[in-house]
Chains A and B, each alone.
Chain A
Amino acid sequence: MFESLSDRLEGAFKVLTGEHRLTELNIAESVKEIRRALVAADVNYKIAKEFTDKVKEKALGTENLLKAVKPGELMVKIVRDELVELMGGEAADFNVKGKPAVVLIAGLQGSGKTTFSGKLANFLKTKQKKTPLLVACDVYRPAAINQLGVIGEQIGVPVYKDLDSKNPVEIALKGIQHAKDHNLDVVIVDTAGRLSVDTEMMDEIARIKGAVLPNETLFVVDSMTGQDAVNTAKAFNDVIDYNGVVLTKLDGDTRGGAALSIKYTVGKPIKFVSTGEKMDTLDVFHPDRLATRILGMGDIVSFVEKAQEQFDEAEAQRLEKKIRKNKFDFNDFLSQINQIKKMGDLKSLMGMIPGMSKITKDLDINNDAFKKVEAIIFSMTPDERNNPDLIDIRRKKRIAGGCGHDLNEINAFMKQFDQMRKMMHKMSKMPGMSDSKPKSKLKLKRR
């Protein structure tokens, strides 16, 4: 129904193609489109207006400059730079020094606080070698305490709960004492969701904050939030003066305009980004990346980092050798599939590659995409997996029987595999392709 922000901006800049320089007229035209795009992306109407006014000013200032650069590209750059500035300079740090350090989590109902609390604990435990404690202070929503308990079990982090108490302030304080007694170094206090107009509940969160004196107070917000994001962010800020924002559910197709509005209104940095239901889907926020991503240029840096983190260097080199010798077999293929799977949700990964967001938008990609392929390979004998050339028609029939796909499908798959192998072999002989680091390969596409 609505195009994405990047599509819209692309549309805006199309207005400029064919024009040789930025003029007052074509700037005004594209600025209007940008404003519409931002509003459709849930950026607050007033902020979108101020933002585009700024862009217009900048663009006019460059009017007769840089005739060599296409005006469309120049506008992209101006918009992007402004977005980055709006999203706020460098990545903010996260302070968990203290004995114990206390992190207070607050936000609206259903924004993703409990899941985020779990992810943060997991992040601190695995990436920073901390010993976190989760404290369950949502005494209102049915089974909320239990929910945190289950999450704690999943990630192997202790959870402090007091099912007899209905007083979140008391529970939080006892939780901190528990951390001290057990020598745990970070306390994460999960609280109930609340509306900013609910004065009683807002008063409660203020009292919790006053009692636990957190090092970090985080406001958790659903990235799909609409125009109201500004009001809510401001109301919470007035009461608890949080020092960081967490954006959740960014793995959807949201355009994330709320993030812009919030940063603009309260001036607090976005510290984390949550992108899935699994406990390891938490990222540190980088403003430039979101700005770039909003513009449809792909979140190239995140992609590279994620790929590197998951990609086993040694394995990559081993594979490359086999490809060069044209010895790539089914075992290698399986191992590649596993590498890709480890990288997380395929679609969200693809979305980070420049140009891919458009293609993948309508494409049906899911992590089950490999199921069929795996079923076929699993029906092969070890010999066959090592040596694809061994597979003749008799063997194909047996494999078909084993995996429940018909012979045509096996044939099609074998043919595809063969083509892929040839292609990989060819590519491996091309100059510049020997570097197995994903980074350098991707940079080529970046222009």
Chain B
Amino acid sequence: MSFFSKLFSREKKEDLDKGMEKTKTSLFGKISKAIAGKSKVDEEVLDELESVLISSDVGLETTVKIIERIEARIARDKYLQVSELQAILRDEIVQLLAENNTTDVEDFLPDQGQKPYVILVVGVNGVGKTTTIGKLAWQLKQQGKKVVLGAGDTFRAAAVDQLKIWSERVGCDFYSKGMNTDPAAVAYETVQYALEHQCDVAIIDTAGRLHTKSHLMQELSKIKRSVGKKLEGAPHEVLLVLDATTGQNAFEQAKHFTDATDVSALALTKLDGTAKGGVAIGISDQFKVPIKFIGMGEGIHQLQVFNKKIFVESLFD
């Protein structure tokens, strides 16, 4: 528990618990219903478990993996009590996720000393990029960092205004060339601004785009390159924002955005909605790229650092 409290303030833990409540009740409500009156974990219980995991958007492949692990355990221990199922399931999920070499981050910003630390934020339309930027900037501002937001979405109506309002809420710097300007130039000049104004962090917003539109993905690669031209080694982070409501398409998004921009971290938003924690399990299992942040609401403080173990545990507490 001390490990827990180190990373989460009380308030945050409450947020997470509240957000996960729906998942929890539906996930384990279903499990206990399925196993009522049974003492032994058999085919039927496993089938039910499969249905529960899939209904939580864990995804086929990861679900199969989890079931196989439980099966292996049954083979090993010969007999598995239904009453143990919950604990074993938690164990297996935690272990499965630990096998993927992604380590959990501990803070909103790695202290690696790059200045400015440049973050490029990408994702499909409406997933929560701009909101996540606002929330992240706020966290960094709380830590005393000087932050600039770059308005690289020059396409969607009023996107620049939206980011500007966030910068005002946070009380951080803002760089824009207005609507319908070249996003690569905005990105480049945002870094320049950060250099000139001694900012610690520059966060660049981009227009939402579907990963299937190759010309838009090329544009993204170009934006990334232009950041590197101004500052070698930048962007230090390419943050892909995924909407937790999204189903299996989230995996396609992760794949294609990674191809175009070498995504280095994921943010999972809208976890305050209904029954959808599962996608975090599937994604942590299948991608080396770690989930770093989770969005738990529209409020400025509702962004958290993601920790797999705590996350899984919060499903079982």
Contact = CB atoms under 8 A, between A and B. Distances in A.
A253 B274 contact: no
Interface stretch (B161-169, B187-195, B196-204, B302-310): B161-169
Contacts of A436: none
Interface of A: 1-2, 36, 39-42, 44-46, 108-112, 114, 140-144, 146-151, 154, 195-197, 222, 224-229, 231-232, 235, 249, 251-255, 257-258, 277, 345, 347, 364-368
Contacts of B211: 252-253
Given A45-B55, A109-B270, A277-B156, 8 more contacts: A112-B125, A146-B162, A197-B274, A222-B245, A226-B248, A226-B276, A227-B56, A227-B275
A258 B57 CA distance: 12
Contact of B210 (A42, A150, A196, A252): A252
Interface string B288-317: 000000000010000000000000000000
A146 B57 contact: no
A363 to B, nearest CB: 9
Contacts of B212: 251-253, 347
Given A110-B128, A366-B215, A142 B246 contact: no
A6 to B, nearest CB: 14
Contacts of B276: 226-228
A236 to B, nearest CB: 11
A110 B249 contact: no
B255 interface: yes
Interface of B: 22, 51, 54-57, 59-61, 124-128, 155-159, 161-162, 164-166, 169, 210-215, 218, 243, 245-252, 255, 270, 272-276, 278-279, 286, 298
Contacts of B156: 147, 277
Contacts of A114: 157
Contacts of A140: 298
Contact of A142 (B166, B255, B279): B166
Contacts of B279: 226
What 7 pairs across the A-B complex have the smallest Cβ distances?
A226-B247, A110-B126, A42-B247, A150-B157, A142-B165, A143-B162, A147-B158
A227 B54 contact: yes
Contacts of B162: 141-144, 146-147
A109 B125 CA distance: 11
A410 B178 CA distance: 39
Contacts of B124: 224, 249, 252
B286 A225 contact: no
Most A CB atoms within 10 A — which of B248, B251, B274? B248
Contacts of A146: 157-158, 161-162
